[in-house]
Amino acid sequence: MIDQPTPSTYSEPLAADGDLVLLVAEDQKRTVIKLQRGQQWHTKRGFLLHDDLIDRPLGRMVVTRLGHAFLILEPSTHDLIRYLKRTTQIIFPKDAAYIALRLNLYPGRRVIEAGTGSGGLTLALARAVMPTGRVYSYEEREAMSALAGKNLERVNLREHVDLKVRNVAEGFDERYVDALFLDMREPWEHLAAAREALKGGGFFGSLLPTTNQVSDLLRGLQAHGFADLEVQELFVRNWKPIADRLRPSDRMIAHTGFLVFARKADIAEGDTWRTVDAKRYRPRAAGGDESDEIE
């Protein structure tokens, strides 16, 4: 019988020199910093010594000499995406998390991304497939790829990502990957290359801002033998966490883009995958023939 770990097997993890930690102020403002011995973090609310946080457990409240309190926490993937330095709009955390779920990513999986941008989605994909999986991220702008590399280094994820500076019109190097995501203006132009890179039944995804782009992509997916197509958009509405006055916040994260998902399918030439309207059909009677089906 295999011995099972007991509570005494584990010990409270401590913040270490070089770790990223999340500081949450009284007004819910959030900041991610990298701990370094001998350094200080300064704010209008006072300052904190890094040495007072290193080798201490997380989840604590600390108070500056000006009397302002901060929670010291482990940053989530959501926090890290917001922490990235960027020169272009990144994919919002609400979309990035859902994309990783819909692409069926977990440790050991291989996924292609194009284009990289500042690396927001790259971060989420890498965290999903690490430590044994791989992200292959394509970006034609060298400066953007370099920025993404620096962002990934800051969050200790660079080793899990292959950054490639290339126009994806030249195709992808990888074959039989588990999933592929196109964050591009005209993804329908690269579906042949996407299909060649994906394994049978592989997961495809894309994000687009306008409906006419979505329509062009849907036509392209059908023409290139993709099936199980879905189009979605996600909304997030926060509520004010005050028990006696619980109500929605005045603002919400609404439309950020349309998400399109599909699967690579093996469909014979001339055939198309179609969705059947169940209301147009009725069960056949015993011994019935084709005439029992309503067309």
**One domain, residues 194 and 217:** yes
Rounded Cα distance between 35 and 30, Å, is 16
In this prediction, residue 255 has a pLDDT band, given cuts at 50, 70 and 90, of: confident
| Whether residue 271 has pLDDT greater than 50 | yes
**One domain, residues 62 and 105:** no
**One domain, residues 82 and 202:** yes
**One domain, residues 32 and 125:** no
Evaluate whether residue 163 is within a structural domain. Answer: yes
Residues 6 or more apart whose Cβ sits within 8 Å of residue 230: 259, 260, 261, 262
**pTM across the whole model:** 0.84
| Whether residue 214 has pLDDT greater than 50 | yes
Q: What percent of the chain has pLDDT over 70?
A: 88
Output the pLDDT for position 85.
Answer: 86
**One domain, residues 71 and 82:** no
Output the pLDDT for position 291.
Answer: 45
Output the pLDDT for position 9.
Answer: 76
| Whether residue 229 has pLDDT greater than 50 | yes
**One domain, residues 131 and 98:** yes
Output the pLDDT for position 86.
Answer: 82
Return mean pLDDT, the chain: 90
**One domain, residues 122 and 250:** yes
Which of 232-236, 250-254, 271-275 is most confident? 232-236
Output the pLDDT for position 275.
Answer: 56
117-165 pLDDT, tens per residue? 999 999 999 999 999 999 999 999 999 999 999 999 999 999 999 999 9
Are 40 and 49 within 8 A, CB to CB?
A: yes
36-73 pLDDT, tens per residue? 999 999 999 999 999 999 999 999 999 998 999 999 99
**One domain, residues 156 and 48:** no
Inter-axis angle of helices 142-154 and 120-129, nearest 10: 50
| Whether residue 295 has pLDDT greater than 90 | no
**One domain, residues 43 and 177:** no
**One domain, residues 67 and 137:** no
Enumerate helices (H) and strands (E) in the chain, giving the number of each: 6, 15
In this prediction, residue 293 has a pLDDT band, given cuts at 50, 70 and 90, of: very low
The amino acid occupying position 76 is S
Output the pLDDT for position 252.
Answer: 87
Range of the structural domain that residue 143 is part of:
78-264
Distance (Å) of CA 120 to CA 31, 94, 137, 159, 239: 17, 12, 12, 16, 25
**One domain, residues 105 and 188:** yes
**One domain, residues 143 and 159:** yes
Rounded Cα distance between 100 and 165, Å, is 23
Range 260-269 average pLDDT: 86
Distance (Å) of CA 254 to CA 35, 95, 250, 257: 35, 11, 12, 9
Lowest mean pLDDT among 8-12, 166-170, 214-218: 8-12
Sequential DSSP letters for 31-100: EEEE--TT-EEEETTEEEEGGGTTTSBSSEEEE-TTS-EEEEEPPPHHHHHHHS--SSPPPPHHHHHHHH
Evaluate whether residue 149 is within a structural domain. Answer: yes
Evaluate whether residue 294 is within a structural domain. Answer: no
Output the pLDDT for position 266.
Answer: 85
| Whether residue 3 has pLDDT greater than 70 | no
Higher pLDDT, 133 or 268: 133
